[in-house]
Amino acid sequence: MPGQITPPGWLPDALSAYSQLLSELLGFLVGAAVVYVVGYLLVVPVALRVVRARNRNNPTILTATETYLKALLVVFAIVSGVIGAGYGGVLTRSAIIIAAITFAAGVAGQEVFGSFISGVFLVADPDFNVGDWIAWPGGEGTVEAVDFRVTRISTPDNETITVPNTELTGNALRRPFGRDRFRVTEQALVAYDEDTERALMELQQVAANLEGALADPAPNARIVELGANAITVQAEFWVSDPARNDVLTIQSDFRREVKRRFDAEGITIAPASAQELSGELAVTRRTAAE
């Protein structure tokens, strides 16, 4: 018709392409969202309830199961989104899947896979649980969670650190304080000319009267070394659940009280210098004739 404007030939093709793209995007979002929401609201809670019922004394398995299930849920949601977008046939081509896995392995590297395997071993270890107080060559603290690559640990100064799983499985782990008690060990240097038995008694009394220290096991004090310049005495006492107690504050209170009691009793803490000099110095003036 005269005066009618005919759209360019590329415009219908562009609109069709955009329409297909939006349709695929909508299919991906719907497919991924449905799987994720259903899994997060139904599958994960039910699975965690079953794991919790069967592993009441092992919270590590519970936290690890939650972490792994959520990761798998994301993977399934992505796969469902791809299928919903109409690209499900890509997933059936084994060559593409193998190539993708090989690429992921090359990118992730040996360290990531090593950390993942180490995390699995930590979760399976019955002597390693969330809530345990552990010590390793790099520090000590309470285990909060075991993730794919790292383990989260709460330190005595209320900091949360992430330790690679390989560091925990590759080193000796100590749990000398049990799961519900923390043993505090404090040392002091006493001069040789002091009454060592009285120093030991004062250490034990301070520990016994210290707020936060447990009465059972009872605090004790002992001589641990006869050094070149001083006697090393040591006090040991226990506090309950270090995760809920400020261990650093308890240690500080103990040291302050020991210093105050030693000063009050006249007990000399060994001097910092290696040698303590005593005596008199006499100066005699002599004449030239002498």
How far is 271 from 120, CA to CA, in rounded Å? Answer: 51
Per-residue model confidence (pLDDT) at position 34: 84
Q: Which helix (H) or strand (E) element contains residue 233?
A: strand 231-240
Per-residue model confidence (pLDDT) at position 93: 57
How far is 184 from 199, CA to CA, in rounded Å? Answer: 18
Per-residue model confidence (pLDDT) at position 221: 92
3-state secondary structure 181-221: EEEEEEEEEECCCCCHHHHHHHHHHHHHHCCCECCCCCCEE
Per-residue model confidence (pLDDT) at position 235: 92
End-to-end, the C-alpha distance of the chain in Å comes to 143
Whether residue 133 contacts residue 239, with contact meaning beta carbons closer than 8 Å, is answered with: no
The structure tokens 């969330």 sit at 130
Q: How many residues does the chain have?
A: 290
Per-residue model confidence (pLDDT) at position 205: 92
What is the mean pLDDT for each group of 10 consecutive residues in the chain (290 residues)?
A: 53 67 78 82 80 68 73 79 70 58 56 69 75 82 82 83 85 69 85 88 92 87 88 89 68 90 86 60 67
How far is 20 from 115, CA to CA, in rounded Å? Answer: 42
Question: How are strands ordered across the β-sheet holding 220-226?
Answer: 181-190, 231-240, 220-226
What's the angle, vertex CA 141, arms to CA 172 and CA 48, rounded to 5?
95
